[in-house]
Amino acid sequence: MSRHSSIVGGSTAGRLLECPGSYQAQLALPPSADVSSEYALEGTAMHAVMDRLMRERQRSHRNVMDLAQSYLGHTFIDRQLTQDHLDTMILPALEALSDLEAHYGHGFRVLGVEQRVQFPGLPGAFGTCDLILGSATHVLHVDWKFGQGLGVEAVYDEGRFGEKLNPQMMFYTAAAMNSCKSFYKGRKELVIAIIQPRGTKPLSHAPISKVDIKYFTEDLHNAVISALDRDPPRARGEHCRFAPCKVNCPLWTGPMLDLSAMGVLQPRTELVSNEPSAYGHYLAHAKDLADLAATFGKEVNEQLHAYLEDGGSVPGWKLKAKVKQRQWVDVETVADWMTDNGFDTGEIWEDKLVTFAKAEAAAKRLGVKIPDHLRVAPPSNETTVTRSDDPAPPVNRQLAVEQFRAALAHLNSREG
């Protein structure tokens, strides 16, 4: 294979498989500053906590739940570990890991922590496995995710196209099997797992086979060859979500031209109909283009900010100091001033229930389950727009209007 195969890593494997042209497209972009968000920095710190816990488990077999509590107040990377960190991320992650091990038979020991591995056949293609556990029958490959946004899963249901294994985890597993052969002696089943304690699905896992690894390796080799070709294919899709090359991709910029060509949004001139109409088709097309524009605009804003932070010049744009929301100087000073100036206690302090996440963490620690009747969604007459393939039942406003008209007619006839 080519010596240029460092073009791919765990986080970009899925994108390269779907869009080989993304590699050269990204090379065409100017270098930009690496601006880390607060969420990314928090995630890095929580990874450091799990790293220390798992290394201590590997050395001494200590109870990591108790050990985690002892880390309260310790500094990891750039921040102190708080009780909120423990309740919403660290302890739920450890509980999910315990559930994962129980599912595959217990008896696991730590084989690797932050294990650096190299993908087979692609010199320079490295990755890092967060955690590798082994038992007499299984090898578990675990990745920690501490974000609150988009959920990440070990396997995705793609409807009629079947299931898709997480490409990042497949990359790490193939690389680990290539670099740490002693972990895989004997007939052992392979498992990939994502633990995301603040996600909608805190634990996601799937068994994989050596055939899965073989096909994935071949597919990635072919994607690398295609990516280095003179005119590699490009494709738009979910893999573009975090791709900076959206800003120079014709599959993304083309719809922007279409949106511009539409001009001013057309006013509604026809009566509402249950049947497809010209105006309905127009709105469908306009909505698709508007969604693309929002995604495209977000990427442009991020790259514009990074370029200016790195010292670049962009005509018409500049950096300014970010205005932060004001906050009390400190609780005691403010409370003392309010008391001295006649504020009532109720005007100084207020109590409110904790969030679902904090309550759930406390419930797990106490071994109780919060009953469903305590958490209910209030009734609503409001609606929101979603795709037609959304499994939620549709709201038929036209039917509601017709029912209201019929009821009104019936009322009028009785009064007559």
Q: Per-residue pLDDT tens for 348-378?
A: 887 777 777 777 878 888 888 888 888 777 7
Bridge partner residues of 129 (DSSP): 115
Question: What pLDDT is stored for residue 3 in this prediction?
Answer: 37
191 and 111 within one domain: yes
> Mean of the pLDDT values across residues 10-34?
81
The H or E element containing residue 70 is helix 64-70
Angle between helices 91-103 and 38-60 (to 10 degrees): 50
Inside any domain, residue 139:
yes
Residue 48 three-state SS: helix
Say if 409 falls within a structural domain.
no
The token pair at 300 is 């442009």
Inside any domain, residue 39: yes
Sign of the CA dihedral with 158 first, then 161, 165, and 166 last:
negative
pLDDT score, position 230 = 87
150 with 9, same domain?
A: yes
pLDDT in tens, 174-228: 999 999 999 998 889 999 999 999 888 899 999 999 999 999 999 999 999 999 9
**Shared domain check, 157 and 15:** yes
Q: Is the pLDDT of residue 338 over 90?
A: no
Q: How far apart are CA 100 and CA 135, in angstroms?
A: 13
Q: Is the pLDDT assigned to residue 133 strictly greater than 80?
A: yes
Do 263 and 296 lie in one domain? The reply is yes
| Number of neighbouring beta carbons within 10 Å of residue 193 | 26
Same domain, 157 and 24: yes
pLDDT tens-digit profile of 27-48?
Answer: 877 665 555 567 778 889 999 9
Residue 384 is predicted with a pLDDT of: 65
| Of the ranges 93-97, 278-282, 304-308, 392-396, the best mean pLDDT one | 93-97
- 175 shares its domain with 258: no
Give the rounded percent of residues in the chain with a pLDDT score beyond 70. Answer: 79
Q: Residue 116 maps to which CATH number?
A: 3.90.320
365, part of any domain: no
Shared-domain flag, residues 45 and 139: yes
Asked if 263 and 211 sit in the same domain, the reply is no
Residue 405 has pLDDT above 70, yes or no: no
How confident is the model over 150-163, as a mean pLDDT? 76
Residue 401 counted as domain residue: no
Q: Tokens 């294979």 label which residue?
A: 1
The number of distinct structural domains making up the chain is 2
Q: Name the residue with higher pLDDT: 242 or 25.
A: 25
Name the percent of the chain lying above pLDDT 90. Answer: 34
Residue 341 near residue 347 (C-beta atoms within 8 A): no
- CA–CA separation, 120 vs 108, rounded Å? 26
Domain match, 216 and 83 both: yes
Residue 402 banded pLDDT, cuts 50, 70, 90: low
CA 266/CA 286 separation, integer angstroms: 10
If we measure between CA atoms, which residue out of 165, 272, 147 comes closest to residue 202?
147
The three state secondary structure string of 246-304 is: HHHCHHHHHHHHHHHHHCCCCCCCCCCCCCCCHHHHHHHHHHHHHHHHHHHHHHHHHHH
pLDDT surpasses 90 at 302: no
In this prediction, residues 384-396 reach a mean pLDDT of 66
Query: Which tokens sit at 213?
Result: 């690894």
104 and 178 together in one domain: yes
For residue 344, being part of any structural domain is answered with no
Structural domain of residue 151, as residue ranges?
Answer: 5-227
132 found inside a domain: yes
Q: Are residues 140 and 289 in the same domain?
A: no
C-beta of residue 87 within 8 angstroms of C-beta of residue 198:
no
Please check whether residues 113 and 219 belong to one and the same domain.
yes
Structural domain contains residue 17: yes
Q: Average pLDDT of the chain?
A: 82
Structure confidence by residue, pLDDT tens digits, 259-299: 666 665 666 666 666 777 777 777 777 777 777 777 777 77
User: Which sign does the torsion angle of CA 135, 118, 145, 60 carry?
Assistant: positive
DSSP output for 203-260: EEEEEE-HHHHHHHHHHHHHHHHHHTSSS-----SGGGTT-GGGGG-HHHHHHHHHHH
- The pLDDT score that the predictor gives to residue 108 is 95
